[in-house]
Structure 1
Amino acid sequence: MRVSPPRLLALLAGLLICAVAIWRLEDARAGLTITPLAVGSTPATVYRRTDGGKAPAVIIAHGFAGSRQLMEAYALTLARAGYVAVSFDFEGHGRNPTPMRGDVTRIDGTTQYLKREIGRVTDAALALPSVDGRVALLGHSMASDIIVRRALEDPRVAATVAVSIFSEAVTQTEPRNLLMIDGAWEPRLRADALQNARLADPAAREGETIGDPARGDGRRTVVAPDVEHVGVLYSPTALAEARSWLDAVFHRESAGPVAATGGWIALLLAGVVLLSWPLAALLPGGERPFPTLRRKTFLLATLIPAAVTPLALARVDTHFLPVLVADYLAVHLLLYGALALGILALSGVRIGRVAWLGALALAVYGVVVFGGAMDRYVASFMPTLARLPIIAAIAVGAVPYMLSDSLVTDNGRASWLRVLVARGAFLASLAAAVALDFQRLFFLILIIPLIVLFFVVFGLMGGFVGRRTMSPGAVGIGLGVILAWTLGVAFPMFSAG
């Protein structure tokens, strides 16, 4: 099959981009020994310098719906500085097979289980022959509160680094040597961090150190410029501040660049998306199955499901999966997609022939190629066996929804305005569902950015396949599988027991 010059250029550029990005990302691991560590059922990873002697351990904890990979920039930075960095997956997250337990709304519920888990990881880290008996805790978002509360109870913890902190447990003097790092685009969390600093000194300001970390009573707030809740995990400022703070606590000196891998990760993922365009041209071509939707049909199929779905499900019990709010989302997707497909069918719009090779290629590329890059460098994307039934259950809803989305967006051929209206309506329906039952569906708010990212990244890939195969069925099935997979590995597994 002849490939056009622009596609050939894109193929070469994509391969070059991916190769350079992978080289730089792997280079960040050079000189380090990275080994697995099992702490009971908790999977952990130990990062240490190959030529290093005994050193303090730093326990690194991720936030809600995160995993060890998401915190790797801190692990690499601290390991390269000579520390023994131990990162792990919380219960219910990543590859941890044990579900989260307890009441997530109560301090004496889930928080206690996660706090004990950090204690077990701390014990295991201190037992490593490369650790000198000293330890610090570092945690992001949800974990910031967990590590603060753990540090209050564990006298072995010499320092606490809380990234994107929100915790009501901070006191005037505890925890010892508290560094609080927030992104510049996290105004509410910045305010909370400054309030915690002012418990120790009412005149405290951002960027100012109170007390002396070498003495044990240090406290400091730091603002990482130009980043938000996720970007702060890759900010050179945040990484350097964490390293400097621990150096001050443990009387050490570190030099050299930090492992600011965020830019290379973004470049790698962009390269994978770019490659999908010329690769889609290798699929068999198809004929356009129907004309562009009339405006009335488009609006009916977009707005009616968005309005009806959250209202219809407001009082429906959807607790049937051992995953936080994923069961509701699966039903929401199913009803939304069924309503949209029904309206389109009444208007004479059909899915038509399914290009199964295109559906398979899209699903495999999204899950294996893009997902493999994600799993290696960003966040856990390869599920444990316990998650496979969850992915299948979500797919029952995700496939109909993505079939309807592929029809209303005309297989990726619709105008950007129509795409924004269609997907914005779906996001608005999720927001309405949260507003109607905030206590039950609060965690959906945290997943909405993931869905936006899905639309941007995988929506582009689906558009490439759709414009080549002219098969809404191929795009809908392929993207439905990817969406189910993405949500199935991201939502924390949960058991009320």
Structure 2
Amino acid sequence: MRRIAKVVVALLALAAIGLGGWRLHAAREGVVETSLAVGEIPARVFRPASGAAGPVLVVAHGFAGSQQMMQAFAVTLARNGYVAVTFDFPGHGRNPVPLAGGLSDDRAAAGALMAALGRVVEAAGRLGDGRLALLGHSMAADIVMRWAVPRPEVAAMVALSGFGPEVTADRPRNLLLLVGAWEPGFLQEAARKVVGPATEERVTYGRFDDGTGRRYALAAGVEHIGILYSRDALAESLAWLDGVFGRLGDGFLDIRGGALALLFGGLLALGWPLSALLPRAVAREEGGGMGWRRFWVVALVPAVATPLLLRLVPGRFLPLLLGDYLALHCALYGVLTGLLMWWRGAGWSRARPGRVALGAIGVAAYAMLGFGVAIDLLLTSFLPVGMRAWLVPAMLCGTLPWFLADEWAVRGPHAARLAAPATKLAFLVSLLLAVALDPRRLFFLVIIVPVMLFFLTVYGLVGRWSWRATGTPLPAAIGHALALAWALAATFPLVE
């Protein structure tokens, strides 16, 4: 029955992957995508297949993002007659130039970001009918507004989840502010005040012809990242731009959340039947897991002690924003967990090293190729190019101790029920505690917590499947440590 169930799950997973991929591909019908040469800045152009020259919209991603994150807006606008241009800011995605200033020098960072935006706008301006608009998310919402304030040639602005610095009654021209309904209240209030003290949601103020158009709206049911795939955000943005430019497209919206859920849900479900291909590394299932009466110390002490101890560690040693801190956090967390497991008398592995290595390669390949290719094409840059490549082993020095200790602690015949999700949750709480202790330096970690929750959920499920198949937690621990090190090196911003 188990074999039959795995075959059924595999077929359903492949069907979900196929359906999700087909829906994502179908959304691009009528859109031509090409690369754009802007020096070292990677950029892509989305234009109607008809070749008609419409207004140009430069679409800018947020902090720690890349141009792939903005595809839903680019495709939506291209399907409706606009020429949309996406790109990677310095230090982000596949842009090889580190971001000046990082988080320590706001003026230097803003200058580098606005300079890159200006170069992309100049190159993109030759592609359309001479009219120009900008759209930015999070960090980029503020950057594009700053850049547009002294430039009346920017006819319209869409700011997603931004604060809106230096905004006046008529500059930037025709400003739409969108914030996720699940985003923090202070961010919603800041965006509302940009429009005016008596602003009502979804009410348009001012006039398009003199540039005083202003509007504020909440995107229902989404947070800081979800707004990039929100029907409300896409519809409001398209309607705003059509109003400014006096256009009427076909109303197509690239609402890809369901297709992405099918694709990634299918990829995750496929992991269960694929785990049967992993080699058995030990005769009987092994692991150091123990009952909650003995395990709660192992689960909680590292979560509290790690951020407290790291308060004593100074400085930055990697050109990856917060990569050095996260590597240290993972490494110390793993060492403390391992010491506590040793103190509690956990045994050692008797697995065959060759089969452990083969299993680890299989787990890593599934995580980095199965998920990685789809992530790189559809969500965010996932390929560690240039300087990022040598950062993978540096990050592995942190992720490997943590995964080895954690997987050993939550697996085994006597492991506490729900131990695996409990330790993953404790790790995320530990990161939040670190932010609370040093918010100025570590606030960015708050942004990545939802993404880390997704990764750790996937790793937890695959880790259990791998343990059942191989008999040991080691292949999943090694494979996932490599996959997370790869992901962090590929996605965190490069800084000088």
TM range (shorter): over 0.9
Larger CA deviation: 280-289 vs 345-354: 345-354
Specify which of 301, 304, 308 is matched with residue 307 of structure 1: 304
Q: What is the SS of the residue equivalent to 2:149?
A: helix
- Aligned equivalents of 2:218, 2:201: Cα separation in 1: 7
**1:138-181 Cα distance to aligned partner (Å, 9 max, x none):** 00011110011011122221111001122332222221100011
- Aligned equivalents of 2:431, 2:109: Cα separation in 1: 25
* Equivalent position of 2:278 in the other structure: 283
Q: What is the SS of the residue equivalent to 2:136?
A: strand
* Equivalent position of 2:457 in the other structure: 456
Q: What residue identity is the alignment partner of 1:179?
A: L
Contact 1:434 1:441 in 2 (8 A): yes
Q: What residue identity is the alignment partner of 1:247?
A: D
* Equivalent position of 2:382 in the other structure: 381
1:159 aligns with 2:160: no
1:316 aligns with 2:317: no
* Equivalent position of 1:344 in the other structure: 341
Q: What residue identity is the alignment partner of 2:268?
A: V
Contact 2:289 2:416 in 1 (8 A): no
Larger CA deviation: 210-219 vs 34-43: 210-219
Structure 2 unaligned spans of 5+: none
- Aligned equivalents of 1:37, 1:106: Cα separation in 2: 30
Specify which of 245, 258, 262 is matched with residue 250 of structure 1: 245
> What is the Cα deviation at residue 421 of structure 1?
2.6
Q: What residue identity is the alignment partner of 1:197?
A: V
- Aligned equivalents of 1:66, 1:282: Cα separation in 2: 35
Assess, with a 3 A threshold, how the Cα gap between structure 1 residues 391 and 79 changes in structure 2: closer, same or farther. Answer: same
Alignment of 1:341-380 (within 5 A): 341-346=338-343, 347-353=345-351, 354=353, 355-380=356-381
Q: What residue identity is the alignment partner of 1:484?
A: A
Specify which of 133, 142, 150 is matched with residue 136 of structure 1: 133
Contact 1:351 1:472 in 2 (8 A): no
- Aligned equivalents of 2:302, 2:20: Cα separation in 1: 41
Contact 2:291 2:414 in 1 (8 A): no
> What is the Cα deviation at residue 115 of structure 1?
1.0
Q: What is the SS of the residue equivalent to 1:475?
A: helix
* Equivalent position of 2:393 in the other structure: 392
* Equivalent position of 2:194 in the other structure: 196
> What is the Cα deviation at residue 109 of structure 1?
2.3
Larger CA deviation: 403-412 vs 24-33: 403-412
Q: What residue identity is the alignment partner of 1:271?
A: G
Larger CA deviation: 455-464 vs 140-149: 455-464
> What is the Cα deviation at residue 300 of structure 1?
2.7
Alignment of 1:25-424 (within 5 A): 25-102=24-101, 104-128=103-127, 131-186=128-183, 187-198=185-196, 202-285=197-280, 286=282, 287-290=284-287, 292-346=289-343, 347-353=345-351, 354=353, 355-410=356-411, 414=415, 417-424=418-425
- Aligned equivalents of 2:385, 2:32: Cα separation in 1: 25
- Aligned equivalents of 2:432, 2:304: Cα separation in 1: 11
> What is the Cα deviation at residue 106 of structure 1?
4.9
- Aligned equivalents of 2:372, 2:106: Cα separation in 1: 35
Q: What residue identity is the alignment partner of 1:32?
A: V
Q: What residue identity is the alignment partner of 1:169?
A: E
> What is the Cα deviation at residue 12 of structure 1?
0.2
Work out the percentage of aligned pairs sharing the same amino acid: 43
> What is the Cα deviation at residue 318 of structure 1?
4.4
Q: What is the SS of the residue equivalent to 1:254?
A: coil
- Aligned equivalents of 1:412, 1:91: Cα separation in 2: 49
- Aligned equivalents of 2:176, 2:399: Cα separation in 1: 42
> What is the Cα deviation at residue 49 of structure 1?
0.8
Assess, with a 3 A threshold, how the Cα gap between structure 1 residues 69 and 86 changes in structure 2: closer, same or farther. Answer: same
**1:12-50 Cα distance to aligned partner (Å, 9 max, x none):** 000000001101101111111101112111100000011
Q: What is the SS of the residue equivalent to 1:209?
A: coil
> What is the Cα deviation at residue 296 of structure 1?
4.6
Contact 2:182 2:222 in 1 (8 A): yes
Q: CA RMSD in A?
A: 1.8
- Aligned equivalents of 1:19, 1:222: Cα separation in 2: 35
> What is the Cα deviation at residue 420 of structure 1?
3.3
- Aligned equivalents of 2:413, 2:193: Cα separation in 1: 48
Assess, with a 3 A threshold, how the Cα gap between structure 1 residues 278 and 378 changes in structure 2: closer, same or farther. Answer: same
Contact 1:297 1:344 in 2 (8 A): no
Q: What is the SS of the residue equivalent to 1:281?
A: helix
> What is the Cα deviation at residue 466 of structure 1?
1.5
* Equivalent position of 2:5 in the other structure: 6
> What is the Cα deviation at residue 103 of structure 1?
5.3
> What is the Cα deviation at residue 188 of structure 1?
2.7
Contact 1:104 1:111 in 2 (8 A): no
Contact 2:179 2:188 in 1 (8 A): yes
Contact 1:412 1:462 in 2 (8 A): no
Contact 2:177 2:216 in 1 (8 A): yes
* Equivalent position of 1:467 in the other structure: 468
> What is the Cα deviation at residue 350 of structure 1?
2.0
Q: What residue identity is the alignment partner of 1:121?
A: V
Larger CA deviation: 224-233 vs 395-404: 224-233
> What is the Cα deviation at residue 242 of structure 1?
0.7
Structure 1 unaligned spans of 5+: none
- Aligned equivalents of 1:318, 1:324: Cα separation in 2: 12
> What is the Cα deviation at residue 494 of structure 1?
0.4
* Equivalent position of 2:445 in the other structure: 444
Q: What residue identity is the alignment partner of 2:198?
A: A
Larger CA deviation: 216-225 vs 416-425: 416-425
Larger CA deviation: 381-390 vs 10-19: 381-390
Contact 2:287 2:349 in 1 (8 A): no
Q: TM-score, normalised by structure 1?
A: 0.94
- Aligned equivalents of 1:107, 1:154: Cα separation in 2: 22
**1:386-419 Cα distance to aligned partner (Å, 9 max, x none):** 1111111011110110111111221699566423
> What is the Cα deviation at residue 332 of structure 1?
1.2
> What is the Cα deviation at residue 249 of structure 1?
1.1
